[in-house]
Amino acid sequence: MMFGSLRPQAPAPAPSRLTWSWLTLFQIFLAVANFEPDEKGQEFSVIYKWSHRKLKFTPYQSIATHSARDWEAFEVDGEHFLAVANHREGDNHNIDSVIYKWNPATRLFEANQTIATSGAYDWEFFSVGPYSFLVVANTFNGTSTKVHSHLYIRLLGSFQLFQSFPVRPQHEPQLSIIGHCACHMHLLDR
Ligand SMILES: [Ca+2]
Given this model, what pLDDT does residue 166 score? 84
CA of 55 to the centre of ligand 1 (A): 26
- Between 3-17, 77-91, 105-119, the lowest mean confidence (pLDDT) is in 3-17
Per-residue model confidence (pLDDT) at position 176:
65
The per-residue pLDDT for 35 is 66
Domain ranges of the chain: 29-166
pTM of the predicted model, to two decimals? 0.79
What confidence tier does 172 reach under pLDDT thresholds 50, 70, 90?
Answer: low
> With contact defined as beta carbons under 8 Å apart, do 20 and 12 qualify?
no
Distance (Å) from CA 120 to ligand 1 centroid? 11
> What pLDDT was estimated at residue 9?
38
In this structure, which long-range contacts are made by residues 169-178, counting pairs with CB atoms below 8 Å and at least 24 apart in sequence?
A: 169/121, 169/137, 169/139, 169/145, 172/121, 173/121, 173/122, 173/137, 173/139, 173/149, 174/121, 174/122, 174/137, 175/122, 175/123, 175/124, 175/135, 175/137, 176/124, 177/124, 177/126, 177/135
What's the whole-number mean pLDDT along residues 31-55? 84
Residue scoring higher pLDDT (25 or 131):
131
pLDDT class for 47, splitting at 50, 70, 90? very high
pLDDT of residue 106: 96
Q: Using alpha carbons only, what angle is made at residue 121 by residues 104 and 162, rounded to the nearest 5 degrees?
A: 75
77, pLDDT greater than 70: yes
Ligand 1 mean position, distance from CA 123 (Å): 4
**Is 1 or 124 the better-scoring residue by pLDDT?**
124
Task: Output the CA 177–ligand 1 centroid distance in Å.
Answer: 10
Q: Does residue 73 surpass a pLDDT of 80?
A: yes
pLDDT over threshold 50, residue 170: yes
CATH fold, domain 29-166, is Methylamine Dehydrogenase; Chain H (2.130.10)
Ligand 1: centre distance to CA 134 (Å): 10
Ligand 1 centre to CA of 187 (Å) is 23
Q: What is the mean pLDDT of the chain?
A: 81
Mind listing the pLDDT tens digit for each residue in 142-169? 999 889 999 999 999 999 999 998 876 6
